Amino acid sequence: MKVVFFGTPEFAVPSLEKLLNHPDFEVVAVVTQPDKRRGRGNQLTPSPVKTVALTHELPIWQPQRVKKDTETLDLLRQTQADAFVVVAYGQILSQEILDMPKFGCINVHGSLLPKYRGAAPIQWCLYNGEMETGITTMLMDAGMDTGAMLLKVHTPIALMDNAEQLAQTLSVLGADLLIETLLKLQKGALTPIPQDSSQATYAPLIKKENYSLNWSRPALELHNQVRGFFPDCVATFRGAPLKITSTAPITPEMRSQLPSELRVLEEKWFDLSDRTTSPGEVVAVVKGIGPLVQTGEGLLLLQKVQPAGKRAQSGLDFANGMRLAVGEVLQNGE
């Protein structure tokens, strides 16, 4: 089966590598987003997918707008590919492109469709506290993740998973499901299932305001925000931004899901729960563990943070280095 691969970020790499290493598929070209300037040197940097494609000496096309780029459209037609595979490419494909390959355009999407259609399904499912997610392969149509579904695979979400960790899990599951999907399509062994749009939910692009932490919200909601929008959530500490990248909600409801090394905080929670404190107030700095902050409901352990202009560090190192005092108040993010 001749395949053109459309993809850009690290999430797409396992799928491309699976195709390249499978004897039943020939990747004839890769389409990825244009190189972007990154890092301190502001150097043009290829996408993770382009990096893999370069090592395999594949043709690489990087149009600014693929559906308007006549040269790329001509090249795509000339491939006479059996399928276009699309994994987190980052651009909308036109109907003209969707109609080119024999078996259509196959998308690997990081949610259990029709839930979490859109650009950031992994982030929003964590933000909303979902206990399960998965991968859906589908036949693409002109809508935003509205095409008929082909196969699904489910995976549980642990309390301490963040978006980066969950993406790594799903990218591997997605690569395996892609191969199964293509092989079954080739054999005519799949029946596409239309999505029930009445059950659809959406996962839009994340905006700057989504990163701001508000201490009046419950601890579990704040924890889900931090892990969902990892690593960019921010509070304010002594007038400066403080990135908070890892937390744990210390509440009675969550005790059974906490890692074993944090179970010692159960006793601490009961000691502190009757105190009258304000949201954002540091209620304790637990020896060997880190600072506990009062929220609108329950306590939040700061496990990892990054002060403005400094490297990421553990919450305990931050508390010790800043001489964080009980009673000091962290403000909401700006």
User: How far apart, in whole angstroms, are the C-alpha atoms of residue 63 and residue 61?
Assistant: 6
256: confidence class by pLDDT, cuts 50, 70, 90: confident
**pLDDT digit string, tens, across residues 280-311:** 999 999 999 999 999 999 899 999 999 998 99
Buried-exposed string 62-100: b where 16+ CB fall within 10 A, e elsewhere? bbeebeebeebbebbeebebbbbbbbbbebebeeebbeb
111 is in an annotated binding site: yes
User: C-alpha angle 315/157/171, rounded to 5°?
Assistant: 100
8: confidence class by pLDDT, cuts 50, 70, 90: very high
Please provide the distance, in angstroms rounded to a whole number, between the alpha carbons at the two ends of the chain.
Answer: 51
Mean pLDDT of the region 23-42: 91
Greater confidence (104 vs 274) lies with 104
User: How far apart, in whole angstroms, are the C-alpha atoms of residue 219 and residue 298?
Assistant: 5
**pLDDT digit string, tens, across residues 208-230:** 999 999 999 999 999 999 999 99
Q: What's the CA dihedral at 125, 127, 130, 133 to 10 degrees?
A: 30
Question: What pLDDT is attached to residue 263?
Answer: 76
Q: 275 pLDDT exceeds 80?
A: no
Question: What pLDDT is attached to residue 67?
Answer: 94
| Token pair recorded at residue 287 | 């020896």
273: confidence class by pLDDT, cuts 50, 70, 90: low
Percent of the chain past pLDDT 70, that is, above it, reads 97
If you search the block for the tokens 């403005």, which residue do you land on? Answer: 308
Query: Which domains are assigned to the chain?
Result: 2-199 (3.40.50.170), 208-321 (3.10.25.10)
Mean pLDDT score across all residues of the chain: 95
Question: What pLDDT is attached to residue 260?
Answer: 85
| Token pair recorded at residue 80 | 């006479």
Percent of the chain past pLDDT 90, that is, above it, reads 88
Mean pLDDT of the region 32-58: 92
212 is in an annotated binding site: no
C-alpha torsion sign, points 106, 112, 114, 117: negative
Asked if 33 contacts 62 with a C-beta cutoff of 8 angstroms, the reply is yes
Asked if 196 contacts 187 with a C-beta cutoff of 8 angstroms, the reply is no
Q: 269 pLDDT exceeds 80?
A: no
The verdict on pTM exceeding 0.85 is yes
190 is in an annotated binding site: no
Q: 171 pLDDT exceeds 80?
A: yes
**pLDDT digit string, tens, across residues 179-210:** 999 999 999 999 999 999 999 999 999 999 99
112 is in an annotated binding site: yes
